[in-house]
Structure 1
Amino acid sequence: MDVELIEIQEFLASHPPFDQLPEETLARLPRRLSVRYFRRGMPFPPETTDPSCIYILRRGAIELRNSRGELVGKLAEGDLCDQNCRVEADADEARFQGHTAEDTLVYALPCSDLAELRAAHPSFAEHFDQSTSRRLRKALDVVTESPSSGTGLMTVRVRDMVQRAPIATGPETSIREAARIMSEHHVSSLLIMDGERLAGMVTDRDLRNRCVAAGLATDQPVHAIMTETLTTVDLDTLGFQALIAMTRLNIHHLPVLEGGQVVGLISSTDFTRFQSANSIYLVGDIHRADSIETLAQIGSKIAELQVHLILGGATATQVGQAISAITDAITLRLIELAEADLGAPPVPYAWLLGGSQARREQSSHSDQDNALLISDEAKPEDDAYFAALARFVNDGLNACGFVYCPGDVMASNPKWRQTLRIWNKYFSNWILKPEPMALMLSNVFFDMRSLRDPHGLCEELHERIIEKSRANRIFIAYMAANALKNRPPLGFFRNIVLIQGGDHDHTFDIKHRALIPIIDLARVYALSAGIPENNTNERLQVAAERGALSRDGAANLIDALELIATLRMRHQADQLRNGQPPDNFLAPDALSPLERGHLKEAFVLINTMQESLGQRYQTGRFA
């Protein structure tokens, strides 16, 4: 066999599903391939060649779009395009057209040869069987789309999900008449309109719980049982964002607005048409769970969720939102179970979240960062209750896969289980005396948000500390200097500097050397401008609006964050699929040349933005 054929064989052997083929089959395969070259911008699959081939991308990049012109995926080295070899039903469902994003080389294998390989090698065929979007999935076994189902809710808009005009009535309609209207139209919810204004909504659950179970007369006006405070979405909201809103709030109906006017309603059942409602069902299971053991079983699915979302084309932002919403639901259910066991709390309190969960940027293996904020009404003897509650929740989260914080920044630690007065004192000391430990804790707690906070304790605390920090330029300068300590791993000649030796030889830490620097930059921009948002993307967007950095700078950092975080998520998904514990050590050799090039550009950008921030605050004084 000549050198070129050997090189092709080695390439195929290193990429799934060809790595499932026996060596003798692989040795024969290169002679059955044809090599085709496409210039950048050419249509793909090719229009002028025999369509009955599966294409294997050897070098380059291809962008794929659906019939509506929406980007549904990208192909890189080793990826397959098999739409021309699918059975008619699957091919119609997955039909796409794209173009080469750069000069591209592919191997083409006739569909007849592919069929022979699938028939002879079940493990090879399984790859293609699993990728059909018509394969039945059970909602409790699979929590998101399979690789072939495209991005689904990642690209569809709410306007594509609205099926009918909303069914509505007025607030003075009797409960009996409202129930009749719902029955007549076969709907589980009814919008309550006061003229053109959306006044509220009634669901079948409201009829059961607020009327029948409460013994309320059915001739009472329907506004007596309606929900007045509603979460709404616009027609152009992404389906994924609507799903996350439902998941986070544990609700099943969302009124849809256009220009402030109600034009429709979507429910959790609408998502089943897109085969992507599994996280809704997962959260439903969480709220029905009656023990830590049951929650732990649900928590064990979160790593699978991360893998399937990444394989389905989700970005890191979308994965972080999904996992954070589910973790919020688990945390809230643990709090409810603790209160059911311990009784009502003696005084108001808020459960505080820190770190990636607070920013809604969590991954499946994140550790805990949490605390308790207790009303100043608390007496010393009340701590026994809150200590028991904190231990129950922290132990429960650990059982669900969210391990204890290595630094013990958890509510079970008495230091982080304090009254509002003490928390104000903590933040004041960190701001006035920005020592290294104070800066580390600021990075955790200035990202905070709350769960289970009906009295608004966290909001009161947050407003105070945001104003205090914004007004203290010295503190901001120390935070800026601290943000420059983690530098991107870029050498003098723009090569990626790697770890040498040890367990992580020839890798770099993508979290601490690439992701954390952007998160830290965004935090400094937010604090300097008095911005209350804690999500990194939102901080950068609002900071640009307020002039804390340029719009181009914000947009570039957001793009860099998405690239880096998605590469990290993909790396971890690969490890999880291979039964390995996920980590943050990425080998550049695992990336395509295109990805490595973009990664270097992101590192250059981060370094430039760090230098700019350092000059603004003269951070050399605080080194």
Structure 2
Amino acid sequence: MNPAPHTHATIEAALASHRVWSQLDEATLQQLAPQWTLQACDVGSTLLPQGQLHSRTGLVVAGAVDLHDPDLDMAVHLQPGDMFGFGATPAQHLTTWQATAAADSHIAWLDAETIAALCRDHGALAYYFPSVSMSPAPSAAAATAQAPGGSGMHLNLLGTPVRALVKREPITLPPDASIRAAAQQMRELRVSSVLLVQQGHLFGLVTDRDLRNRVVAEGLDIDRSVADIATLAPLTLQAQSPAFDALLLMARHNIHHLPVMDGARIVGMITATDLAEQHSTSAVYLAGDVYKQTTVEGLARTAAKVRPLQQHLAAADASAYSTGHIVTAITDALTTRLIHLAEAQLGPAPVDYVWVAAGSQARSEQTAKSDQDNCLVLDDRYDEAAHGEYFRAFSRFVCDGLAACGYIHCPGEIMAMTDKWRQPRHRWAEYFRQWVDKPDPMALMLTCVFFDLRAIHGKTELLESLRHEVLQRTRGNSLFLALMVGNALKHRPPLGLFGTITRIRGGENAGTIDLKHNGIVPIVDLARIYALAGGLAAVNTHDRLEQSSRSGEVSPQSARDLREALEFLSRLRIAHQARQMAQSQAPDNFLALEELSNFERSHLKEAFSVVQTLQGVLGQRYQAGRY
């Protein structure tokens, strides 16, 4: 969407001839006109994505607009003079419909707060905006986060299918077409990529970046086959997948074009620009900045943007689940880029390895306050005498680089640069055998870290085969699971005898509650035990609870209650940290109840009660010798 020339005369003329706005007196209209923004929109442009109709009010000055509910396949066609969005669209549709330009259009926009104020000052006007009283105007922070071109980001991506972002039929060429033909087609159709398709099957992908880097920069003959410069077997996403998955895929792999599939059929292409219309790609571009850096100092400067990113996510009212995945995606990108820089400095690794994240990074549950937990699984061909010096320098470079980026060294030294946690695969297998078969207190503590593992870079099969063996060993292991439960029950919600919230009594955090260790960690522990008992491979806590409910380790209702408690507690934590960062304070996990409304305190008690109840259920189950 491109801004149209903003002339007060154009806006005034549209308002003066409008059946609603013409009811205002001339002086009011003259004052109101400069507050509108006139925007030119190409056909197919997403004007307001699903869930954002409440953010502002649109007036169709020229062209046409389609309002559409992608879930129920309901649609309304609007013509010049029609209005939509805050106040104008019925309240029951504000959170489910989206607006798309049905033709090249001019749309005039007015912010929700101004509409609400006008309806208060002009009673007759309120008649034409029936949902104003039912749709509170967004806060200034939220409005900034949702405004087109704003620095914040809208994150209603879990409910938006990728299919909704596809704007046109796929642009394709056969693989034996020339590079010249590909460039000409991209120019004529004004697209930044073309798909190579052979007999209906996706063969490859060529982007404008490929033309620049692989053709022009290399002086390649443009009459050669376009397949010579293509990315073969590109990453794809299914059309029914949430757009949030596209955001993560682009951020984690530093790509800006993603073919969309319906089974084996090609639906089309989405780009980082398409996601930009959802105001959600700061994470994609931040990840792109990470991969452009050539020094640790450059990475550290880029990493400093993670805290503002979390603030924007909080302002946009993103879910804790989304926030954790997005913030973690940046940590993954930083880790991967540091590995690239280490290999550039030290040379290629002498044997295969996989760099593995542990703890909150593995679970994709990081916030702006995180230390580093990681390890290195080496191929069994590893020889200490021949390869030890390389991997010591390699792991030190990456861990020190992460520390420079704000991820402090683990106080317990659970890092790949520690000799014990940089071992060949067979040694890791022995570690897990010992921890499961002889679960002493230290072993139980380590299992809480090392049963939450995710491959970041390298030969992922080293970790996946190890994970499979471990889950086979833990599934139904009565002694081990009973001891894990006993260890987990050391983290209790801060509830007193009569259901009151008990605060920390002394020390620098007196009068607060520890949201992490007394709220979130107990849920993480419960989900881990369910997963280990059922031999489930999921690592993210939300996903573990969902899989555990399907496998019968926990009832569907209890799993749902725990997921909702986790989301609520995590959002409190994220919002608390965002407030601290806005005040230039270091973020922490200690929340003062004074920060909460009575409504939030009530929900906090309910969340703690859910955790306390299910801890009791799990304790009784194992004490009764169920396993």
Q: TM-score, normalised by structure 2?
A: 0.76
How many aligned residue pairs are there?
517
Matches within 5 A, 1:239-318: 239-258=243-262, 261-318=265-322
> Could you give the per-residue CA deviations for residues 32-81 of structure 1, whole angstroms, max 9, x where no partner exists?
xxxxxxxxxxxx99xxxxxxxxxxxxxxxxxx997843179xxxxxxx98
Tell me, yes or no, if the aligned pair for 1:67 and 1:96 is still in contact at 8 Å.
no
Whether the aligned pair in 1 keeps the contact of 2:91 and 2:134 (CA below 8 Å) is: no
**Residue 357 (structure 1) aligns with:** 361
CA contact 1:338–1:389 (8 Å) conserved in 2: yes
Match of 1:413 in 2: 418
Instruction: Indicate whether 1:69 and 2:94 are aligned.
Output: yes
Quote the Cα distance in structure 1 between the aligned partners of 2:616 and 2:157: 39
Q: Deviations over 1:97-126 (max 9, x none)?
A: 47779xxxx9x9xxxxxxxxxxxxxxxxx9
190-199 or 591-600, larger mean C-alpha shift = 190-199
Q: Which residue of 1 aligns with 2:113?
A: 82
Cα displacement (A) at 1:448:
0.5
Find the aligned partners of 2:130 and 2:156 in 1 and give their Cα distance: 14
Partner residue in 1 for 2:65: none
Q: Classify 1:618/1:308 alpha carbon distance in 2 versus 1 (closer, same or farther; 3 Å).
A: same
Does the 8 A contact of 1:431 with 1:475 survive in 2? yes
Match of 1:170 in 2: 174
Matched residue type, 1:567: L
1:388 corresponds to which of 387, 390, 393: 393
Change (3 A) 1:175 1:71: closer
The Cα shift of 1:186 comes to 2.5
1:17-36 aligned at under 5 Å gives the runs none
Query: Is this contact kept in 1: 2:142–2:315, CA < 8 A?
Result: no
Maintained 8 Å contact 1:498/1:506: yes
Rounded to whole Å, the distance in 1 between the matches of 2:478 and 2:217 is 57
Contact in 1 for aligned 2:148/2:279 (Cα 8 Å): no
CA distance in 2, matches of 1:540, 1:230: 32
Question: Which amino acid in 2 is paired with 1:426?
Answer: Y
2:330 paired with 1:330: no
What per-residue deviation string (whole Å, max 9, x for no partner) do you get for residues 340-393 of structure 1?
111111111111110000111001120000111111112223111111111111
Equivalent position of 2:343 in the other structure: 339
Mapped partners of 2:475, 2:146: distance in 1: 51
In structure 2, distance between residues paired with 1:388 and 1:178: 45
Opposite residue 487 of structure 1, the aligned amino acid is R
Q: Does 1:468 align with 2:473?
A: yes
Given that 1:481 and 1:619 are in contact with CA atoms closer than 8 Å, whether structure 2 keeps it comes out as: no
Structure 2 match to 1:23: none
In structure 2, the CA distance between the partners of 1:228 and 1:616, relative to structure 1 (3 Å rule), is farther
Deviation by residue 1:276-320 (Cα, 9 ceiling, x = unmatched): 322222111110101111111111111111111101111111111
Question: 1:15 — aligned with what?
Answer: none
Cα distance in 1 for partners of 2:195, 2:451 equals 39
Provide Cα deviations, 1:475-495, integer angstroms capped at 9, x if missing partner.
122212222221111122111
The 8 Å contact of residues 515 and 565 in structure 1, kept in 2 or not, is answered as: yes
2 CA distance for matches of 1:555 and 1:231? 32
1:425 to 412, 415, 430: 430
Deviation (angstroms), 1:211: 6.0
Q: 2:510 and 2:202 mapped to 1: Cα distance?
A: 60
Partner of 2:490: 485
CA contact (8 A) 1:65 1:98 kept: no
Tell me the CA shift for residue 199 of structure 1.
3.3
Select the residue among 570, 587, 595 that pairs with 2:592: 587
1:612 corresponds to which residue? 617
Alignment deviations for residues 518-555 of structure 1 (CA, whole Å, 9 cap, x no partner): 11111111111111110111111111121221111211
2:500 corresponds to which of 478, 483, 495: 495
Find 1:600's aligned residue among 592, 596, 605: 605
**Structure 2 gap segments, 5+ residues each:** 1-53, 56-88, 98-110, 120-128
Amino acid at match of 2:169: A
Number of the residue aligned with 2:403: 398
Task: After superposing the two structures, state which structure 1 stretch, 225-234 or 394-403, moved more.
Answer: 225-234
Instruction: Give the C-alpha shift of residue 261 in structure 1.
Output: 2.9
- 2:324 is equivalent to residue 320 of structure 1: yes
Other structure's SS at 2:566 match: helix
Moved more, 263-272 or 206-215: 206-215
Letter in 2 for 1:515: I
User: Contact 1:541/1:554 (CA < 8 Å) preserved in 2?
Assistant: yes
Identity of aligned residues (%): 44
- Counterpart Cα distance in 1 of 2:518 and 2:132: 34
Tell me, in whole angstroms, the C-alpha distance in 1 between the residues paired with 2:145 and 2:422. Answer: 50
Q: What TM-score, normalized to structure 1?
A: 0.76
CA contact (8 A) 1:154 1:240 kept: yes
- Change in 2 beyond 3 A, CA 1:224/1:591: same
Greater CA deviation, 502-511 or 267-276? 267-276
Deviation digits for residues 9-37 of structure 1 (CA, Å, limit 9, x no counterpart): xxxxxxxxxxxxxxxxxxxxxxxxxxxxx
Aligned-partner SS, 2:329: helix
Letter in 1 for 2:334: I
Give 1:272 deviation, angstroms: 2.8
**Which deviates the most, 514-523 or 583-592?**
583-592
Distance verdict in 2 for CA 1:284–1:504, change over 3 Å: same
Matched residue type, 1:310? A
Superposed, which structure 2 residues align to 1:194-213 within 5 Å? Answer: 194-207=198-211
Quote the offset at 1:413 in angstroms: 0.8
The letter for the 2-side match of 1:319 is T
- What corresponds to 2:371 in structure 1? 367
Which one is further off, 251-260 or 431-440? Answer: 251-260
Residue 524 of structure 2: aligned partner: 519
Distance 1:173 1:477, change over 3 A: farther
Question: 233, 258, 268: which one pairs with 1:229?
Answer: 233
Q: In terms of mean alpha carbon deviation, does 291-300 or 128-137 score higher?
A: 128-137
Kindly state the Cα deviation for residue 173 of structure 1 after the two structures are TM-superposed: 3.6
Q: Cα deviations across residues 560-585 of structure 1 (Å, max 9, x unaligned)?
A: 11001101111111111112111111
- Aligned: 1:453 with 2:454: no
Quote the Cα distance in structure 2 between the aligned partners of 1:596 and 1:425. 46
| 2:71 alignment partner in structure 1 | none
Secondary structure at the counterpart of residue 277 of structure 2: helix
